Structure 1
Amino acid sequence: MPIDPDKAIGAELGSVDFSWSESDVLLYHLAIGTGSKPGDQLSPTALRYTLDGPDLQVLPSFGVVAPTFHATDPPPLELPGCDINLAQVVHGSQSISVAGRVRASGSATVTTRISEIWDKGKAAVIWQEGVATAPSGERLWTTRSSIFVRGEGGWGGDRGSAEPVELPDRVPDTDTTYAVTPQQALLYRLCGDRNPLHADPGFAKAAGFPAPILHGLCSYGIVLRTLTDELLDGDAARVGGFGVKFAGVVFPGETIRVRGWHEDGRIVGSASVAGGERDGAPVLGDVVLTTA
């Protein structure tokens, strides 16, 4: 069968050495919309993301893209025991937990493995876990991500479990919007994801979309930045972890509505499309920001 769980689960996907610089961090922050509001070029809060120097801070979501930040080829999909192709795959969820403040420059090694595979009957969910460590051996961060593989499953494996995040039945502590710029996906693709789905109109149409869509990880960064600015005083060092489920797409030029609540010592939230024909369409669900 295309997915052999006996070969896949626990398989090591290798280790990758990588490094990053302040310029990479600045580009990432600009790609997720930092500095785009009127007055941001004078705002001390915004400049903590966009001005190099001793006060530059790093949003932890950067750690998700740092190992592949300089990649120029579309992302490969080569997993032991998994004979699948990109046309079957949707990014299901993403999380990162950091061991401390993410440095503005440095080097590390990330080691990744397939941690779980869930059998959903007509689909499979493949989970990967990556641990980034400094040359000293210090753990820097851990990422977990899942991909939803349509047309697979049905071998009688574990269906897995995922408790939905309940949103409080009260007015959110923040309810704000971010206008995605027309060139946002073209800028974000310079952060290491050259998938033509986000840039080539012909490719997007062949994939069933009327136009290129925004990277899910760009929405991920936008929402984390928004919640950090709105509910953590713009202090990225207060973010201990951030996880989401990808619930829908965003087209450049649309607006993302971000809602967030302080709840049980963490921040929970949601993201949806605001305005236009797709008003209310989901973007991110099960949004959880844990504080350091």
Structure 2
Amino acid sequence: MALDHDLVGVASEPVERSWRADDVILYALGVGAGAQDPTDELAFTTENTAGVELRVLPTFAVLAAQARTGRRLGDFDPAKLVHAEQAFELHAPLPVDGRVQVVSTVTGIADKGSGALVTTESTAADAETGKPLVTTRSGVFIRGEGGFGRSGSTSDPWALPERAPDEQVRYRTRPEQALVYRLSGDRNPLHADPAFAARGGFERPILHGLCTYGFTGRALLHALCDSDPDRFDAMSGRFSRPVLPGDELVVSIWRDEPGTALFRTATADGWVVIDRGRVRFH
């Protein structure tokens, strides 16, 4: 068996997922909060600073809606799988201590020639009230699993604005960034084991795509929402190139219609790593 196409459209059984203050702090540190100035972003990195309430970074929503469903996409070399795209929408502010029920559905398996794009939608609802908290949509690209002749739908139009960015934020990742981020749950050896990374065609372990996504989300939060996570509504982007731990990231932001913006994340030498970015805020 290669990929299990029978999974498409079938919702998983609800799976419980929970987190606590330590989890949201560790996540914030994993996506670089406080690295440039430890006294910055204390609202995301400490729980006992006088006069500062612990808050949750909006991009933690992606982790909140992740849960092990016990279902496998098929038989393939996991070193050939990379994160291709990610979106989320917040229906309510994320609590510091949370418990949700997650339901996940494979929404499509598309033939991209050299590989397959598998898209998934997950919803996380408050375990006590049943009210929706997060909806996420993601895609993974699995090299070598294409050729079955079923193409996917085209993506929404996105055009790079023909003007300089309205905002630009620079963050440098650390050499050990992936080793910290993996403690938030993604233990894929692609991000730590040189031999495993080589099997995937990489010269050395790469940074998690969702770590780059988290760095980008921090930039959007501070530039567009005055650092208030309650004002952050939704974010989407496509991963276009891997990031190596230690790379500097440059997040370029173009304000669009009221409450929306486009963004693109690149390395300092100009390689685009997250493309076709959109963010919604209020």
Taking structure 2 as the reference length, what is the TM-score of the superposition?
Answer: 0.90
Following TM superposition, by how much is the alpha carbon of 1:163 offset from its aligned partner in structure 2, in angstroms? Answer: 2.9
Q: Larger deviation: 152-161 or 251-260?
A: 152-161
Distance 1:203 1:118, change over 3 A: closer
Summarize deviations over 1:121-141 as a string: whole Å, max 9, x none. 443211111110112110001
Q: Larger deviation: 126-135 or 151-160?
A: 151-160
Following TM superposition, by how much is the alpha carbon of 1:180 offset from its aligned partner in structure 2, in angstroms? Answer: 0.6
Secondary structure at the aligned position of 1:234 is classed as coil
Aligned residue number for residue 172 of structure 1:
165
Residue 65 of structure 2 contacts residue 123 of structure 2 at CA under 8 Å; is this kept in 1? Answer: no
Letter in 1 for 2:55: Q
Aligned residue number for residue 273 of structure 1:
267
Aligned residue number for residue 8 of structure 2:
9
2:93 corresponds, among 79, 96, 101, to 101
Q: CA RMSD in A?
A: 2.2
1:199 corresponds, among 192, 202, 216, to 192
Report matched runs for 1:87-236 at 5 Å.
87-135=79-127, 136-236=129-229
Aligned residue number for residue 247 of structure 2:
254
Report matched runs for 1:18-29 at 5 Å.
18-29=17-28
Distance 1:211 1:152, change over 3 A: closer
1:286 corresponds, among 264, 267, 276, to 276
Letter in 2 for 1:261: W
Secondary structure at the aligned position of 1:12 is classed as coil
Residue 259 of structure 1 contacts residue 271 of structure 1 at CA under 8 Å; is this kept in 2? Answer: yes
Summarize deviations over 1:102-158 as a string: whole Å, max 9, x none. 111121110101112223344321111111011211000101111122233344424
Aligned residue number for residue 52 of structure 1:
47
Following TM superposition, by how much is the alpha carbon of 1:283 offset from its aligned partner in structure 2, in angstroms? Answer: 0.9
Letter in 1 for 2:25: L
Distance 1:206 1:99, change over 3 A: same
Aligned residue number for residue 32 of structure 2:
33
Give the % identical residues: 37
Q: Which runs of 5+ in 2 are unaligned?
A: none
Summarize deviations over 1:80-113 as a string: whole Å, max 9, x none. xx44331332211011101011111121110101
Taking structure 1 as the reference length, what is the TM-score of the superposition?
Answer: 0.88
Report matched runs for 1:50-89 at 5 Å.
50-52=45-47, 55-66=53-64, 78-79=72-73, 82-89=74-81
Residue 132 of structure 1 contacts residue 142 of structure 1 at CA under 8 Å; is this kept in 2? Answer: yes
| Number of residue pairs aligned between Structure 1 and Structure 2 | 277
> Quick one: distance in 2 between partners of 1:85 and 1:251?
22
Q: Which runs of 5+ in 1 are unaligned?
A: none
Q: Larger deviation: 59-68 or 136-145?
A: 59-68
Distance 1:167 1:188, change over 3 A: same
Residue 185 of structure 1 contacts residue 215 of structure 1 at CA under 8 Å; is this kept in 2? Answer: yes
Following TM superposition, by how much is the alpha carbon of 1:30 offset from its aligned partner in structure 2, in angstroms? Answer: 0.9
Letter in 1 for 2:104: T
Distance 1:158 1:250, change over 3 A: closer
Following TM superposition, by how much is the alpha carbon of 1:164 offset from its aligned partner in structure 2, in angstroms? Answer: 4.3
Secondary structure at the aligned position of 1:225 is classed as helix
Distance 1:120 1:68, change over 3 A: closer
